[in-house]
Amino acid sequence: MNTQALAVHDNGPEGVYLRGSGAAREWWRVSLSERAHMFRIEHGHGEAGSGAVDIDTVVDLDNLEAKLLKWRREGFVSEAGREDEARAVAAGSRFAMELERAVELQREAREANRSVQPEAVRIGSVAMPPAPERTPSALVPRINDAYLFTARADDIALDIVENRRVMLIGHTGSGKTSFIEQVAARTGHGVLRANMNGQTTIGDFVGFWTVKGGETVWVDGVLPVAMREGYWLIIDELDFAEPSILAVLTAVLEPNGRLLLKERGNEIVEPHPSFRLFATANAAGAMSAYRHLYQGANLLNEAFLDRWRVYLFDYLSKEEEAEVLLRTLPALMPSIAQTLAAIAADCRAAFAREDLASTFSTRRLIDWAELMLRTGDVERAAGPAIYAKVSAEDAALIRSIIRHHAIFDAGDGVSG
Ligand SMILES: Nc1ncnc2c1ncn2[C@@H]1O[C@H](COP(=O)(O)OP(=O)(O)O)[C@@H](O)[C@H]1O
Ligand SMILES: [Mg+2]
């Protein structure tokens, strides 16, 4: 039995075999004969079943298989095979069309990327558009190469791209202000800051009338200046702000929110597309439990907080802080950096427990390490960097924490 010939048919040899098209169409039809194990074969021209049949005979299976082989050599294809072929051609061209479109989309994406990529600045894994070039460089913070963008950077960077209002809450010295400044430094944005703890009045913030050379003139506060010029405004320690300042802010907090200067006859200040608004707070929201550590901090209500994306900033982990120390002061040994980071962590824990009245910022830690490298003396370095800044009781506790670590973790190398 010739299996090769039968392999053409999935469901046995019955069916129509066609060659040519139109007037040149020629066909063979195979059907089961009334006689057992025999096949009827018919031949004709034109459409099968409509034109005249010029051959009509009965063959056995061996004979039929020989005919199938011969027909195949002559270019006859079974109807089912033709349909398969037509389907394959159609599917093939659809696939090709889709692939062509995909290639085009990919090319467009690459080109769009190329036009953003060269100047785009990477913060974590987010590509951020740079500032317009006209920003006065004096307002653009200096880049701190040792600054470490941790995992939290991505979400905040995306919020900045999307023009969300971002509030960073956390203990003092946890890197809230410097985070925003370092993103601004890298993207080239000018930054204005307003600290709400004490000094800033509504006049400083919004603006005021004053007399200059016999004339009454309006002086914009930081908020309208930043909005008009497209600077980033950091409102530091917002939980210390006067209610009048919070009231003014509320209107501006909407995306593209405008500022109404009532004092200037209801002038409307439109936000520049580059304008961004940030706030930092010590004791707001999730940090409310620490309000007793920040005397005078106000509770920001939830409706106000809902206008912000609020991020909780913890101090850097010991590992991260050791890395920042090593990046800042490459001469420092890793083991020393780890010991210093552990001391800072212990001091912060004591502050959170209220055993210490002062906390321990990364800035203080770096300063102490720098002096340590100059003097080779832990205690002498701690004087101007730490002890002289805190109460006598705090100094005594910090000294005992340092002694503990310097003696038990790092050996004689750094002990004072
Ligand atoms: N991720 C970091 N990488 C490097 N230095 C940091 C980092 N976070 C904080 N610092 C340093 O810690 C110090 C205090 O940060 P700062 O932004 O002033 O804190 P906050 O605004 O929360 O009080 C700064 O000198 C800053 O350089
Ligand atoms: Mg700050």
236 CA closest ligand 1 atom index: 21
Strand-pair category, 276-281 with 232-236 = parallel
Query: Angle 222-229/243-252 helices, nearest 10 degrees?
Result: 20
Please check whether residue 412 is in contact with residue 377, taking contact to mean a CB–CB distance below 8 angstroms. no
Burial 9-25 (b: 16+ CB within 10 A, else e): beeebebbbbeeeeeee
Return per-residue pLDDT of the chain as tens, 416 residues: 444 444 444 567 899 999 888 888 899 999 999 998 899 999 999 877 677 889 999 999 999 999 999 998 888 888 888 887 788 777 776 656 666 676 677 667 656 655 554 578 888 888 898 888 777 788 999 999 989 998 889 999 999 999 999 999 998 888 999 999 999 999 999 999 999 987 788 999 999 999 999 999 999 999 999 999 999 999 999 998 888 899 889 888 887 789 999 989 999 999 999 999 999 998 888 788 787 777 778 888 888 999 999 999 989 999 999 999 999 988 888 888 999 999 999 999 999 888 999 889 999 999 999 998 888 888 899 999 999 999 999 999 999 999 888 765 444 444 43
Three-state DSSP at 193 gives strand
CA distance 207 to 219: 5
146 CA closest ligand 1 atom index: 4
The pLDDT, as a whole number, for residue 88 is 77
Phi, psi of 137, rounded to the nearest 5 degrees: -65, -25
Q: What is the DSSP string of 16-60?
A: EEEES-GGG-EEEEEEE-SSTTEEEEEEEESSTTTS-EEEEEEEE
Say which residues have a Cβ less than 8 Å from residue 250's Cβ, sequence separation at least 6: 304, 307
Nearest residue (by CA) to ligand 1, atom 24, is: 363
Nearest residue (by CA) to ligand 1, atom 4, is: 147
Ligand 2 geometric centre to CA of 407 (Å): 33
171 CA closest ligand 1 atom index: 22
Nearest residue (by CA) to ligand 1, atom 16, is: 175
The pLDDT, as a whole number, for residue 408 is 54
Taking the CA atoms of 148, 190, 276 and 279 in sequence, report the sign of the dihedral they define.
positive
Tell which one of 169, 177, 178, 294 to mutate to probe ligand 1, the residue whose CB is within 8 A of the most ligand atoms.
Answer: 178
Strand-pair category, 259-261 with 267-269 = antiparallel
Tell which one of 169, 183, 363 to mutate to probe ligand 1, the residue whose CB is within 8 A of the most ligand atoms.
Answer: 363
**Ligand located closest to 236 CA:** 2
Q: What is the DSSP string of 197-253?
A: TTT--HHHHHEEEEEETTEEEEEE-HHHHHHHHT-EEEEETGGG--HHHHHHHHHHT
Ligand 2 geometric centre to CA of 192 (Å): 13
Taking the CA atoms of residue 352, residue 355, residue 356 and residue 361 in that order, the dihedral angle to the nearest 10 degrees is -30
Exposed, middle or buried by CB within 10 Å (0-12, 13-18, 19+), for 293? middle
Phi, psi of 310, rounded to the nearest 5 degrees: -105, 125
Nearest residue (by CA) to ligand 1, atom 14, is: 173
Q: Which of 18, 3, 5, 2 is nearest to 80 (CA)?
A: 18
Nearest residue (by CA) to ligand 1, atom 10, is: 175
Ligand 2 geometric centre to CA of 3 (Å): 84
Q: Which of 378, 382, 380 is nearest to 394 (CA)?
A: 382
Ligand 2 geometric centre to CA of 10 (Å): 78
The pLDDT, as a whole number, for residue 81 is 80
Residue 337 φ/ψ region, left for φ over 0, alpha for ψ in the -120 to 50 degree band, beta for the rest: alpha
Lining residues, ligand 1, CB within 6 Å: 144, 146-148, 170, 172-178, 280, 316, 324, 361-363
Ligand 2 geometric centre to CA of 281 (Å): 8
Nearest residue (by CA) to ligand 1, atom 15, is: 175
- Centre a 10 Å sphere on the Cβ of residue 74 and count the other Cβ atoms it contains: 11
CA distance 68 to 13: 8
Please check whether residue 321 is in contact with residue 344, taking contact to mean a CB–CB distance below 8 angstroms. yes
The pLDDT, as a whole number, for residue 365 is 95
Please check whether residue 159 is in contact with residue 169, taking contact to mean a CB–CB distance below 8 angstroms. no
Ligand 2 geometric centre to CA of 166 (Å): 14
CA distance 147 to 363: 11
What element of type H or E holds 350? helix 334-352
**Ligand located closest to 170 CA:** 1
- CATH domain 126-312 topology: Rossmann fold (3.40.50)
Ligand 1 geometric centre to CA of 28 (Å): 87
The pLDDT, as a whole number, for residue 407 is 62
Tell which one of 167, 186, 362, 366 to mutate to probe ligand 1, the residue whose CB is within 8 A of the most ligand atoms.
Answer: 362
Segments making up each domain of the chain, as ranges = 1-117, 126-312, 318-414
Please check whether residue 65 is in contact with residue 2, taking contact to mean a CB–CB distance below 8 angstroms. yes
178 CA closest ligand 1 atom index: 17
Q: Which tokens is 114 given?
A: 């190329």
Q: Which of 48, 2, 47 is nearest to 29 (CA)?
A: 48
Ligand 1 geometric centre to CA of 173 (Å): 6
